[in-house]
Structure formats: C-alpha cells, structure tokens
C-alpha cells in the first residue's frame, strides 16, 4: 500500500498534468459515496431497525422536502390534511 | 375538526400531494392509506368515537390503488392472512 503511494507520487512529480485527473476522479468518487450514504441513512424508505423504526416515512413532516431538487412544487404551501386518529 | 373533515370529504377531487411519497412510484402511498383506513377504524372504534373521519383514507386509497389490489387485500383481511400491521 505505501509503495503504491510512492509510485503514484513519483509519477505525479514526473507528470504533473495528472493531478487534475486525480482531483476529478476523487471528487466523483466522493460524491458517489456521499450520495449512497445519504440514501442509506436519510432515505425515508430505508429502515435499518424494523423493530424500533417500522415506518420511517411517516416521520416526514407535510412540508418537509426530501428530494434534492423539487421543481414546480412549493413545499411551504402544503398543509397537513389527513385526519388524526 | 369533524366539520373540517366533512368539508374536505365534500370537496374531494383526488388524492392530494403527499410529501412522504414525492416520487413517481406511489405504491407505498396506496398501501399506507389502506393501512391507515383500517388502523383509523380500529383506533376510533376502540375509543368509541365516530369513524367518519376515516373516510378520508378510504377515498384516497380508492383513488390511488388498482381495484384488483384492494379486492385482494380485502379478501386477505377476511381470511385473516393480511400481511400488513393493522
């Protein structure tokens, strides 16, 4: 593992134009991992503990937005319209 | 509260947007309203209250769910092997 890093370091010193490659690949990989993490932890369809958290989508407020981009949907104007019981 | 519900039931056109189910796949919305209708009936009749507000859930699931699903679940409820928790 450290020898791989030494090899990469040597290659970068000899060909510094490779640095943007690492930046972009690294950035893309980070974004993928972050999105998968958000899906695993924050998605209301996901329940890791079915005994204590059986229906996590019911915990969303009526005005709470889960989607990253919601076009044509003004969440602040929504009201809770289901009867309580 | 109850006349609000009557008002809403009278002006009902279709199932409103539900923030819990914002995507195209509304399967869970259908099933949740079916469950909520039966849970509402069970909870309100256990408290000896009028179950009229539960009609909201019935209207919503009838708008959303395919008829064959509703029939299957009703048959399962009668037979006693409905998989959801009511």
Residue A5 tokens, joined: 């890093």
Residues of B with CB under 8 A from a CB of A: 1, 5, 8, 16-17, 19-23, 28, 32, 36, 39-40, 43-44, 53-54, 56-57, 85
Of B17, B28, B43, the CB nearest to A57: B28
The predicted pLDDT at position A83 comes to 66
**Which residues, in sequence order, are CB contacts of B17 under 8 Å at separation 6+?**
A73, A78
Of A67, A81, A85, the CB nearest to B16: A81
pLDDT band at A84 (very low <50, low <70, confident <90, very high): low
Q: What is the pLDDT of residues A25-55, one digit of tens each?
A: 999 999 999 999 999 999 988 899 888 888 8
Q: How far apart are CA B5 and CA A80, in angstroms?
A: 12
Q: What is the pLDDT of residues A12-23, one digit of tens each?
A: 999 999 999 999
Q: What is the pLDDT of residues B35-71, one digit of tens each?
A: 999 998 998 888 888 888 888 899 999 999 999 999 9
pTM for the model: 0.81
The predicted pLDDT at position A82 comes to 67
**Which residues, in sequence order, are CB contacts of B51 under 8 Å at separation 6+?**
B40, B41, B44, B45
The CATH classification of domain B26-85, taken from the options 3.40.50.300, 1.10.600.10, 1.10.10.140, 2.30.30.30: 1.10.10.140
3-class SS letters over B23-77: CCCCHHHHHHHHHHHHHHHHHHHHCCCCCHHHHHHHHHHHHHCCHHHHHHHHHHH
Q: How far apart are CA B42 and CA B29, in angstroms?
A: 20
The predicted pLDDT at position A79 comes to 66
Q: How far apart are CA B68 and CA A49, in angstroms?
A: 32
Contact: A66, B22; criterion CB under 8 Å: yes
ipTM, 2 decimals? 0.71
Residue numbers in A near B8 (CB within 8 A):
81
């Amino acid at each position: 593992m450290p020898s791989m890093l030494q090899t990469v370091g040597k290659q970068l010193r000899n060909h510094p134009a490779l640095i943007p490659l690492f930046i972009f690949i690294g950035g893309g990989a980070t974004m993928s991992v972050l999105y998968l993490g958000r899906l695993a932890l924050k998605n209301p369809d996901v329940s890791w503990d079915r005994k204590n958290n059986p229906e996590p989508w019911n915990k969303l407020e009526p005005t709470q937005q889960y989607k990253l981009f919601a076009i044509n949907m003004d969440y602040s104007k929504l009201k809770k319209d289901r009867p309580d019981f | 509260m109850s006349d609000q519900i009557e008002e809403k039931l009278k002006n009902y056109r279709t199932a409103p947007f539900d923030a819990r189910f914002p995507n195209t796949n509304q399967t869970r919305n259908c099933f949740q309203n079916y469950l909520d209708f039966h849970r509402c009936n069970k909870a309100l009749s256990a408290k000896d209250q009028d179950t009229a507000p539960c009609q909201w859930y019935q209207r919503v699931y009838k708008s959303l769910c395919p008829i064959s699903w509703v029939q299957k679940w009703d048959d399962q409820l009668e037979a006693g092997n409905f998989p959801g928790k009511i």
